[in-house]
Amino acid sequence: MNIWNKILEELNQKKKLVLMCVLDSDGSSPGRQGFKMYVTDDHKLEGSIGGGIMEHKLIELAKSLLDKGSFQPFIKKQIHRKNIEKEQSGMICSGEQTIGFYHFDDSALPFLEKINTNSKSKDHPFLILNHYGFNLIEDEFTTSKSNFESRSPKEWTYKESINHKLMVHIIGGGHVGLALSQVMNQLDFHVKIYDERNNLNTMENNSYAHERHVVNYQNLTEVIPDNSTDFLVLMSFGYRTDETCIKQLLNRNYRYFGVMGSKSKMETLFTSLLTDGFEQGQLDKIHTPIGIEINSQTPMEIAISVAAQIIAVKNGKFLIN
């Protein structure tokens, strides 16, 4: 459940709360742009704006604001260095962040309902947080990046797409596919999982995937689009099904293409693909052995290692094997 749904639940219980949102961040700031956290009038906490002593101090500030009643939105800059006189966060990790403070009560219920409705649509609504308050607008230009503009400490605009999610395609609905679906769901990816086996219990019990598809692996190109922003993970039942899937998808362009398998298995598979006319440059796009090396053993450990590798690629911190 995303933070907006949780805020909606709190307001439906007649609570008031302060939303803190990281509107802008720079350098090694622990709170990145888009991080959100709220504090209710009964001191319940949800989310994070970066942790540490900074977060503790701002939570206390939010509690004091709730004691005083409603307030106009304002921003507070936090600089994570000791060698400055003003706006010190108390942290020394370098970087800085700008946090917006917003008061929510039951008057915001229509806004939250609107977010809930639009987040399930195929349109491209954008959240606006500014010095006036909060709103939703439609924008025909879709972007995964948030945008912050500040004309002065008292005039600013923050814009964020509320239903743009990175897409991960998981081919193979077994135990590891189920675990990876759970992890990627919690990382706020849109999860699609595919398998060609009917009545597979790990597919039927997969409540974490947003979409589940039973499909003949020979027809994968009909259900998985060619999209350079998508992440693709192949962990099918065996060698032959892996080979079938790779042949279907290797000519396409994905942001990440990972295949689960032992080193010896993948060497044999790559030799076969080269014999069938694929080029080494195409094979070099594949991340295998899949995942970050943590000596993972269980399905969840494997899933965490794969998710870590995907995050590294997403954040531009990983070189292809």
239, exposed or middle or buried, with CB in 10 Å at 0-12, 13-18, 19+? Answer: middle
At which of 112, 134, 161 does a domain end? Answer: 161
At which of 121, 144, 161 does a domain end? Answer: 161
Residues 155, 171 within the same domain: no
Number of domains observed in the structure of the chain: 2
* 61 occurs within a structural domain: yes
Residues 188, 151 within the same domain: no
Supply the CATH number for residue 306's domain: 3.40.50.720
* 89 occurs within a structural domain: yes
pLDDT at 144 over 60: no
Residues 172, 157 within the same domain: no
Residues 200, 264 within the same domain: yes
Q: What is the pLDDT of residues 96-110, one digit of tens each?
A: 899 999 999 999 999
* 15 occurs within a structural domain: yes
Residue 158 Cα distances to 27, 128, 129, 216, 253, angstroms: 19, 6, 5, 45, 32
Residues 269, 147 within the same domain: no
Residues 196, 142 within the same domain: no
* 267 occurs within a structural domain: yes
Residues 137, 231 within the same domain: no
User: What is the distance between the alpha carbons of residues 319 and 49, in angstroms, rounded to a whole number?
Assistant: 29
117, exposed or middle or buried, with CB in 10 Å at 0-12, 13-18, 19+? Answer: exposed
* 229 occurs within a structural domain: yes
pLDDT at 142 over 50: no
Residues 123, 223 within the same domain: no
pLDDT at 12 over 60: yes
Residues 288, 195 within the same domain: yes
Q: Which of the four pLDDT bands, split at 50, 70 and 90, describes residue 87?
A: confident
321, 285 Cβ separation under 8 angstroms: no
Please report the pLDDT score of residue 317 as a whole number: 64
Residues 156, 266 within the same domain: no
Token pair for residue 144? 């995964």
Q: Look up residue 92 and give its amino acid.
A: I
Q: What is the pLDDT of residues 236-282, one digit of tens each?
A: 988 899 999 999 999 999 999 999 988 888 899 999 999 999 999 88
298, 269 Cβ separation under 8 angstroms: no
Q: What is the pLDDT of residues 168-207, one digit of tens each?
A: 999 999 999 999 999 999 998 999 999 999 999 999 999 9
User: What is the distance between the alpha carbons of residues 130 and 225, in angstroms, rounded to a whole number?
Assistant: 37
* 320 occurs within a structural domain: no
Q: What is the pLDDT of residues 37-78, one digit of tens each?
A: 999 999 999 999 998 899 999 999 999 999 999 999 999 999
pTM: 0.66
* 213 occurs within a structural domain: yes
At which of 142, 161, 180 does a domain end? Answer: 161
Q: What is the pLDDT of residues 114-124, one digit of tens each?
A: 887 765 555 56
Residues 181, 104 within the same domain: no
Average pLDDT, the chain: 88
Residues 200, 99 within the same domain: no
> Over pLDDT 90: what percentage of the chain?
63
| CA trace torsion 172, 174, 122, 127 (10° rounding) | -120
Residue numbers of the domain that contains 154: 3-161
User: What is the distance between the alpha carbons of residues 80 and 94, in angstroms, rounded to a whole number?
Assistant: 5
